[in-house]
A and B are shown apart, each in its own frame.
Chain A
Amino acid sequence: MSTARDEILERIRDAMGGATSTREAEYAAIPRNYRRTGSLETSAKLELFVARLLDYGATVYHAPENDVAVSVREALKARAKASLLIPRDLPRAWLPDGFNFFREGPSYQEVEASEGVLTDCALAIAATGTIVLRHSAGEARRALSLIPDYHLCVVFASQVVETVPEGIQLMKAFVDVPITTIAGPSATADIEMTRVKGVHGPRTLDVILAG
């Protein structure tokens, strides 16, 4: 008896009249005449990114490249937070005095009980206001930036690309680790197409744009 695998592959070959040998050349010849690189100056690109974040309802803080901590303090004060979870490798210098920061490691229940999470990111895409998390030592395992109700994310200006294809190009380098892309806080429009911010993911997203 043939296996399901063999049978399905056989059905496909029957349907298509057998494989052709031109696959690679054919793939290379697929027209890609859409925009694959951006055209904006750096300042315009960053303005676009910030506009998109504001559009999603995120609060954006601007920090000097070498003093992220000052904006972390500002954001936590504005949101009345006393403590945050942080990934294992988050730079010590980003953490202002006077708050409690817990390195990752607790159980889901402890993460659930936390006030929020502070992470960095791998890159960001201006055209769509997308932040890309590469789940690793700096951006933590996936649960950490998902379960808490508040996510504060640090994006460096140098990490912002303009278009989706430029972002995908960079993401290709770390496809072996889990990737999450975030465009604003979780949302739904399932009830009468009325947009509601915040369902299961963090209901509040703040961004620190550094540099």
Chain B
Amino acid sequence: MSTYVGNAADAPKFQVAAKRLVRDTQLRHNVRHATGVIRKKRAIVVDEMPDWHELRESGHEIKQHVMRHLDFYLEQFEKACTAAGGTVHWARDADEANGIIVGLVQAHQAKEVIKVKTMTSDEIRLNVALEAAGITPYETDLADLIVQLGEDKPSHIVVPALHRNRMEIRRIFLDKMNLSELSDKPEDLAAAARVYLREKFLRVPVAISGANFAIANSGSVCVVESEGNGRMCISLPRVLISLVGIEKIIPTFQDLEVFLQTLPRSATGERMNPYNSIWTGVTPDDGPQEFHVVLLDNGRTKVLGDREARETLDCIRCGACLNACPVYRQTGGHAYGSVYAGPIGAILTPQLQSMEHSQTLPYASSLCGACYEVCPVKINIPEILVHLRGKVVERGDGPFVERMAMKAAAYALESPERLDRARKLGRIAQVPFTKDGIISHLPGGLDAWTAVRDLPAIPQESFREWWVKRERQTGL
């Protein structure tokens, strides 16, 4: 039994991966273009809402309330879902969830399953577990299909193939769908996916979905989507298994009135996404006659235990913070080494792993605050990033030089005289490294800082020095 987030524990440090990826100009172009388009669309449909701030506030308060009473709401959901004919399973970690799901598929002697986009399944490496058991999973979301056929990794939580352009997608489809010809027009590529998947939708007997919302008082599950692959998977097969992180619970159906306004506008810049499916247990003569929900912890209760970082779990996975992040827009999602990239990934990934892995992710940010500003549930990501940096340092996992530098800074900042002396010393020491007022390469262990940024040199005169001189000259 173990808790993990995809392969994040084995991923290289963010700074190392980022350095390599920013050299890929095609990737940077693709990411900048795609995030630019979503940002523009989002801004238009958010600006037209006179009550956007109030919706964010309510979304935040609802989620905070759920976290305070999560035990109650989970039990309420279980009771209502069971009463409606569903079966609820609980999984402490990734391995346990995979075991439950593989067991359910095997109980039906199924060799194939169709899947609706679920990042949570990537978190627990469900496809690997299915394949190990001889079960073939078919991803049905277009972007997920591109990632799966390309033997690639998702780079965005809403648009996982955002790092690919049409020429690359055409090549993947030609190879993997055994097509003799295909243009690179998005319409033709989408049509190819339609044909490729249609036969599977009508034939494969078991589907696996995630959930955007699980409604406690009715036991209903809601899936938000655009392509219709979600509708296919949740309503055509005989058996449906929904993998639901325990933080996806909302108290009542009524609460959808908040999230169904903020999620589509934040995620894809649409007033409403083309399709929402909401179902409750099993319905005679309509859709799957066997329905399972797997409630997943996998580190979430650990996050809950940290009061200052708890609101990480409020996330509704809209991806707006990725699109807004100046760091993500340069590096793309793969640099984060996690299925959860961008600012939310930088706080969620290490916490789910009890801060034992991915410790460089809280540093993958300039703390500019753009993520907080666009978050539809007002998660204060910059504050949590700083909090987590503190935890990394406390654990003694911070860089040695940084810890020494912090000690030196604490000493120098103790008194104005010490600061003055340190500054004078610095002005002399920096001479060999300074060019045009900029330091691009510091020596020794300090080069970790300048490896990814330039440092302005200490000016010849500080503000305090200038002030003192001015007072003397003007006699003020």
Contact yes or no, B226 A9, CB < 8 A? no
Residue of A3, A141, A164 near B257 (CB, 8 A) is: A164
B161 within 8 A of A: yes
**Known A176-B84, A182-B274: A12·B231 in contact at CB below 8 Å:** no
**Known A4-B90, A52-B271: A164·B260 in contact at CB below 8 Å:** yes
Complex: A4 Cα to B101 Cα, angstroms: 15
B11 within 8 A of A: no
Task: Note all chain A residues with C-beta closer than 8 A to B367.
Answer: none
Which applies to chain B's interface (DSSP): helix, strand, loop or mixed? helix
A69 within 8 A of B: no
A103 within 8 A of B: no
Complex: A150 Cα to B275 Cα, angstroms: 15
Residue of B65, B253, B271 near A128 (CB, 8 A) is: B271
B16 within 8 A of A: no
Complex: A185 Cα to B231 Cα, angstroms: 13
Contact yes or no, A175 B38, CB < 8 A? no
Complex: A182 Cα to B194 Cα, angstroms: 19
Task: Note all chain B residues with C-beta closer than 8 A to A129.
Answer: 271-272
B270 within 8 A of A: yes
Task: Tell me the smallest distance from the CB of B300 to a CB of chain A, in Å.
Answer: 9
Task: Note all chain B residues with C-beta closer than 8 A to A20.
Answer: 68-69
Per-residue contact bits, chain B 237-279, to A (CB 8 Å; 1 contact, 0 not): 0000000001000010110111011000000101111111111
A177 within 8 A of B: yes
**Known A11-B297, A141-B287: A187·B227 in contact at CB below 8 Å:** yes
Task: Tell me the smallest distance from the CB of B45 to a CB of chain A, in Å.
Answer: 10
**Known A112-B202, A168-B256: A183·B96 in contact at CB below 8 Å:** no
In A68-105, the 8 Å CB interface with B consists of: none
Size of interface on A: residues with Cβ below 8 Å to B: 72
A201 within 8 A of B: yes
With both beta carbons as reference points, the residue of chain A lying nearest to B271 in the complex is identified as A128
A31-39, A59-67, A115-123: which one contacts chain B?
A: A31-39
Task: Note all chain B residues with C-beta closer than 8 A to A16.
Answer: 67-68, 70-71, 304
Contact yes or no, B231 A183, CB < 8 A? no
Task: Tell me the smallest distance from the CB of A20 to a CB of chain B, in Å.
Answer: 7
Task: Note all chain A residues with C-beta closer than 8 A to B38.
Answer: 193
Complex: A178 Cα to B164 Cα, angstroms: 36
Task: Note all chain A residues with C-beta closer than 8 A to B261.
Answer: 34, 164
In B168-212, the 8 Å CB interface with A consists of: 169, 186-187, 189-190, 193-194, 197-198, 201-202
Complex: A127 Cα to B251 Cα, angstroms: 25
B236 within 8 A of A: yes
Complex: A53 Cα to B227 Cα, angstroms: 17
With both beta carbons as reference points, the residue of chain B lying nearest to A194 in the complex is identified as B186
Complex: A184 Cα to B274 Cα, angstroms: 6
A40 within 8 A of B: no
Contact yes or no, B278 A178, CB < 8 A? yes
A-B contact pairs, 11 of them (CB 8 A): A14-B305, A20-B68, A35-B51, A109-B202, A112-B198, A129-B271, A141-B235, A143-B286, A172-B253, A175-B215, A180-B278
Assuming A30-B58, A189-B226, what are 9 further A-B pairs, CB within 8 angstroms?
A: A4-B96, A8-B297, A33-B51, A34-B55, A35-B51, A168-B260, A175-B218, A176-B84, A177-B280
